[in-house]
Each structure stands twice: as structure tokens, then as C-alpha cells.
């Protein structure tokens, strides 16, 4: 299947739009939603396939407690990818096979591949964005969008000017290095003012948030959250999940942590867990 147009529309353009609007994208999640579990699943149905399978590190198992199939963390905790699978259609819990979820390391899988003489048995791991193999996303944005270096002020929360930035898309929430400003205490990117073209910086304590809103929520354990629920919330693929209340709020979900947590970035996904089960997730507003 040639999905070049869909990939450009749903993954690359979303990536560009996020940075254009001072948000932090996650292209893998968009690719999963629209291509792997969108276009591929539709094609599988056309071909009357019973199942589709992918190489994600996660598990789908039947839960006696919830009386349905559930998406769970992989046995290989360090490789777990359940975070990027939260927005699959709920019906796919009965149509998706994730054979890598039961293994505890990639070494086990490489040995199986080697035993069967597969050419990819010793293929290096890829951590990069697939459409930016160099890892230089700033140059990619400049070459593929209207985003160009444009200076603006770096300000603190009291709007004191501390220096100049080189384009808001070149900075991310929590960034400390490369700001080009001096201060008595370390300063971090804590926000953006797109209208004024200002980069807002502050001390580390100002990166912490107690609560935030999540929109475009996809539920896997039930159809809708009816009342407050205690869950663990993960806001980045590589971060820990932290205990919080999740509460229905104006067609969205409000997350209230037990303790304030660091570097919650608009555009990233917040995924909700009960133990090792993914109950749903959505985009941080």
C-alpha cells in the first residue's frame, strides 16, 4: 500500500502544525492512529483478515476483572510501548496481535530472528523520527514549512527581557541548554507567547504543574468516564507514570496529580493506567 499522501497529511503536517503553534508533537502516535491502526486496519477488513499484527512492545490479554480484552504494558518494561497505542480503536482489542509483549528483552527476539535466518536479526535499534533520520528537526521544519529563524524576546514570568531567541520552534518545554542567557540560577523554558513571539523562561520550580486538561480522549476500558477515578498518568514515552485523579471536565478530562510534576507540554499525550492496564488517553491542551 502506498500511503505517502496519508503519511504527509496526518503525520508530517501535524508535526509542522504543532511546532508552528508552540506545541510538542509525537509523530509516532499520529502514525499509529491514522496509518497502522487506521489505513492498515481498514485494508485488513477489506481483505477479510481475522487479525493484524505489529512489533510493538505491549500486550493484549483478556481481563476477568473487566470482562474484556485489555491493552497492557509489555513484560520488557524498558521497551514498553503501550503509551503510543492508547488511541487505537477499541474494537481492535479483539483484532490485534502483539507477539513481542511476552518477551523480557530484545535479545531474546534477536535470537529467534537469527535462528530463522532473518536479515534484520542484528539491525540496529532506531530511536530517531523516521522521516528525519538526521535528527535535525529544526532544519527539516525550515525546509518543509514557512517556519524560519525569527528573533524575539526571551522573558521571565514578570515580562522582564533577558535576551533574544532564534525562533520559538527551536525550543521545547523544560529546555535549559542553548538559551544564550545568564542568570544567578538555572533557567528553563516554561512557556511561549506566540502572539508576542516571546519565549518564557523560569526557575525549575516553575516547570511543575499540579493539574492540566486532556482533550480528544480515547477510552479502551469503557466508553466514557462518568466520575472521578484514581489512575497513574504518563505524559511522555520515556517518563514515569504518576498517581492522579482524572475527572470529567467540559467534554474533556482534568488531571490532578497527587504531587506536582515536571514539564507537561501542550501537544504531548497523557495516557491513563490502572496497574499495567491502559484505560485511555488524550492530548494535553
Active-site choice (18, 22, 28, 31): 31
> Where do we find the cell 488524550?
282
Residues 6+ away with beta carbon under 8 Å from 208: 260, 261, 262
d(CA 98, CA 61) in angstroms, rounded, equals: 10
Q: Which three cell numbers stand for residue 183?
A: 542568570
Residue whose entry in the numeric block shows the C-alpha cell 480528544? 216
- Distance, in Å, from the CA atom of 14 to the CA atom of 25, rounded to the nearest integer, reads 7
Residues 146 and 221: their CA atoms lie apart, in Å, by: 41
Radius of gyration of the chain (CA): 21
Residue 31 annotated in active site: yes
Long-range interactions of 77-83: CB distance < 8 A, separation 24+? 79/105, 79/106, 81/56, 81/57, 81/237, 82/57, 82/58, 82/271, 82/278, 83/234, 83/237, 83/269, 83/271, 83/281
Alpha carbon distance 275, 234 (integer Å): 12
Identify whether 18 is a catalytic site residue: no
Cell numbers of 47, please?
Answer: 481483505
Q: Could you tell me the three cell numbers for 207?
A: 516547570
Q: Are 193 and 224 in contact (CB under 8 A)?
A: no
Question: Which residue in this structure is represented by grid cell 514570568?
Answer: 157
Yes or no: say if 284 and 264 are a contact pair by the CB < 8 Å rule. Answer: yes
Q: Looking at the annotation, which residues are catalytic?
A: 31, 130
Amino acid at each position: 500500500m502506498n500511503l505517502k499522501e496519508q503519511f504527509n497529511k496526518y503525520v508530517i503536517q501535524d508535526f509542522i502544525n504543532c511546532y508552528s503553534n508552540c506545541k510538542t508533537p509525537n509523530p509516532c502516535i499520529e502514525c499509529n492512529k491514522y496509518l497502522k491502526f487506521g489505513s492498515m486496519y481498514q485494508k485488513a477488513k477489506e481483505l477479510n483478515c481475522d487479525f493484524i499484527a505489529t512489533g510493538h512492545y505491549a500486550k493484549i490479554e483478556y481481563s476477568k476483572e473487566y470482562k474484556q480484552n485489555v491493552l497492557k504494558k509489555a513484560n520488557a518494561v524498558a521497551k514498553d510501548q503501550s503509551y503510543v497505542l492508547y488511541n487505537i480503536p477499541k474494537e481492535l482489542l479483539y483484532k490485534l496481535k502483539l507477539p513481542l509483549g511476552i518477551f523480557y528483552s530484545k535479545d531474546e527476539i534477536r535470537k529467534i530472528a537469527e535462528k530463522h535466518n532473518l536479515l534484520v536479526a542484528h539491525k540496529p535499534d532506531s530511536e530517531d523520527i523516521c522521516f528525519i533520520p538526521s535528527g535535525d528537526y529544526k532544519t527539516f521544519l525550515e525546509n518543509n514549512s514557512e517556519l524560519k529563524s525569527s528573533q524575539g524576546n526571551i522573558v521571565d514570568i514578570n515580562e522582564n527581557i533577558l535576551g533574544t531567541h532564534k525562533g520559538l520552534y527551536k525550543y521545547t518545554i523544560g529546555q535549559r541548554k542553548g538559551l544564550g542567557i545568564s542568570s544567578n540560577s538555572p533557567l528553563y523554558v516554561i512557556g511561549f507567547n506566540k502572539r508576542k513571539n516571546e519565549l518564557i523562561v523560569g526557575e525549575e520550580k516553575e516547570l511543575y504543574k499540579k493539574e492540566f486538561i486532556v482533550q480528544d480522549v480515547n477510552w479502551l476500558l469503557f466508553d466514557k468516564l462518568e466520575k472521578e477515578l484514581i489512575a497513574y498518568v504518563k505524559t511522555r514515552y520515556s517518563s514515569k507514570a504518576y498517581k492522579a485523579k482524572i475527572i470529567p471536565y467540559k467534554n474533556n478530562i482534568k488531571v490532578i496529580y497527587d504531587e506536582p510534576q515536571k514539564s507537561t507540554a501542550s501537544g504531548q499525550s497523557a495516557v491513563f493506567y490502572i496497574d499495567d492496564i491502559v484505560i485511555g488517553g488524550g492530548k494535553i491542551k
